[in-house]
Amino acid sequence: MCGRFAMNKETDDLILEFIARGGDPQEWRPSYSVAPTDEAPIIRQRPAPSEREESADSAGGSADGSAADGSDGSAADGANDGSALREVELAQWGLKPAWAKPKGPAPINARLETVATNGMFRSAFASHRCIVPMNGYYEWQQQADGKQPYFIHADIDLLAAAGLYSVRKDEAGQWRVTFTIVTREAADASGEIHERMPVFLTPDLWTPWLDPTKIGNPEPVLAALDRSSLAVARSITTYPVARTVNNSRTLNPDDPGLIEPVELAG
């Protein structure tokens, strides 16, 4: 699984990296410890504003393009043909589909093996796909004296994890975006630390993955994700970090020392 990650880039950095647009860079504060229920930036692609407004008017949705059922109205729209916008947006980690009960589960991970058929994720996989940018993520191994955290990263500064998102109204009537990270069986160095790893995208898959057009046949997409994640896994390295990471409530998420390597005794 992936239960914590680091993302130290500013919004402007992400806009440049993913050729996207976004809001005030101050909306996001870089963090070396993004935990479940925290907000983090995601990259998603939606129809252009005029089309969102028209579809919202006709469907009874909101002016920002979120339809009355909590979707963003993008499933039937093409991408990369002048009718779509790629955006950086803050979202809460833990997927909450529009139909889910307010106090129901909010999974932080979706298994690649069942993402196209599992009722929790099937709709989002079909038309609400996103990228979750990160520097790397943390996993733990049980040692005789407690849990030892490891930081898992690649030889590039920024990784693009495959994610799914949903848009819904919260109990206060505000539109909220939530997301989950797609995972798979771990490979190479990642597999030495934990049995699961995020599905990472190579740059050639960014555009097709973000395309909001509804997926008809999931098999080619799943196969592409498998190949992509294995390619990235070959560049993954790991090292132990301080056990300060173990408690997300007491650490300082602004501290870059959280991802610094440490030497283990013995």
265 assigned to some structural domain: no
- In the predicted structure, residue 79 carries a pLDDT above the cut 90: no
State the number of CA atoms in the 13 A half-sphere of 71 facing the CB: 18
In a domain, residue 81? The reply is yes
The number of angstroms, rounded, from the C-alpha of 140 to the middle of its chain's C-alpha atoms is 20
Kindly report the CATH number assigned to the domain that includes residue 47: 3.90.1680.10
d(CA 65, CA 133): 24
**Phi then psi dihedrals of residue 187, to 5 deg:** -135, 160
Q: Specify if 264 maps to a domain.
A: no
- % residues pLDDT > 90 (the chain): 62
Count up the domains in the chain and report the number: 1
The beta strand positions in 128-185, using DSSP E, are 129-134, 136-143, 146-153, 159-169, 175-185
The pLDDT tens digits for 109-132 are 999 999 999 999 999 999 999 999
Of the candidates 90, 87, 84, 88, the one whose C-alpha atom is nearest the C-alpha of residue 50 is 84
pLDDT at 55 over 60: no
Q: Is the predicted pLDDT of residue 25 greater than 90, yes or no? A: no
| pLDDT value, residue 64 | 36
The pLDDT confidence band at residue 151, using thresholds 50, 70 and 90, is: very high
In which domain, by residue range, is 122 found?
5-259
- Mean pLDDT for the chain overall: 85
pLDDT for residue 153: 95
Dihedral angle sign, alpha carbons of residues 52, 108, 253, 168: positive
